[in-house]
């Protein structure tokens, strides 16, 4: 049976530090990208409505704002997919390694 480690031992473990650092990095990067994407779109709505109101084609009903809004939503899904893929391939492996070390 493996010896249970203390919280201090776990916090000092190199694999735990790597796990924590990678999670923080990916979370911060993806959060900043998402905030820039979302608030950039909101700023465009607030400060440049005439640009968003331009028609895509002569006599058409669709404006430039529609594909930009759809793109914002799709890019948000893509960012979520990036995080899920990272979590499933890297994060879960490191979590398992740390759990095996601490006897969890």
Q: Is residue 75, in this structure, part of any structural domain at all?
A: yes
Q: Which residue has the higher pLDDT, 19 or 63?
A: 63
Count of structural domains, the chain: 1
Q: Is residue 80, in this structure, part of any structural domain at all?
A: yes
Q: Is residue 19, in this structure, part of any structural domain at all?
A: yes
> What's the token pair of residue 77?
């899904």
Q: Is residue 2, in this structure, part of any structural domain at all?
A: no
Q: Which of 33-42, 57-66, 84-93 has the highest mean pLDDT?
A: 33-42
Q: Is residue 6, in this structure, part of any structural domain at all?
A: no
Q: Is residue 85, in this structure, part of any structural domain at all?
A: yes
Mean of pLDDT values over 14-33: 90
Residues 47-80: tens digit of each pLDDT: 999 999 999 888 888 999 999 999 999 999 999 9
Cβ neighbour number for residue 5 with a 10 Å cutoff: 17
What is the predicted pLDDT for the residue at 83? 93
- Domain of 79 in residue numbering reads as 13-102
Judge whether residue 93 has pLDDT over 90: no
Distance CA 85, CA 91 (A): 9
Q: Is residue 7, in this structure, part of any structural domain at all?
A: no
What is the predicted pLDDT for the residue at 6? 73
Residue 101 near residue 1 (C-beta atoms within 8 A): no
Judge whether residue 1 has pLDDT over 80: no
pTM recorded for the entire structure: 0.77
Q: Is residue 89, in this structure, part of any structural domain at all?
A: yes
């Amino acid at each position: 049976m493996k010896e249970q480690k203390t919280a201090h031992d776990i916090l000092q473990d190199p694999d735990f530090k790597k796990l924590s650092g990678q999670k923080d990095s990916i979370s911060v990067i993806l959060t900043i990208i998402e905030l820039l994407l979302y608030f950039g779109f909101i700023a465009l709505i607030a400060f440049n409505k005439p640009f968003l109101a331009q028609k895509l084609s002569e006599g058409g009903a669709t404006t430039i704002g529609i594909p930009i809004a759809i793109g914002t939503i799709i890019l948000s899904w893509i960012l979520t997919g990036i995080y899920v893929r990272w979590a499933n391939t890297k994060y879960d492996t490191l979590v398992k390694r740390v759990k095996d070390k601490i006897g969890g």
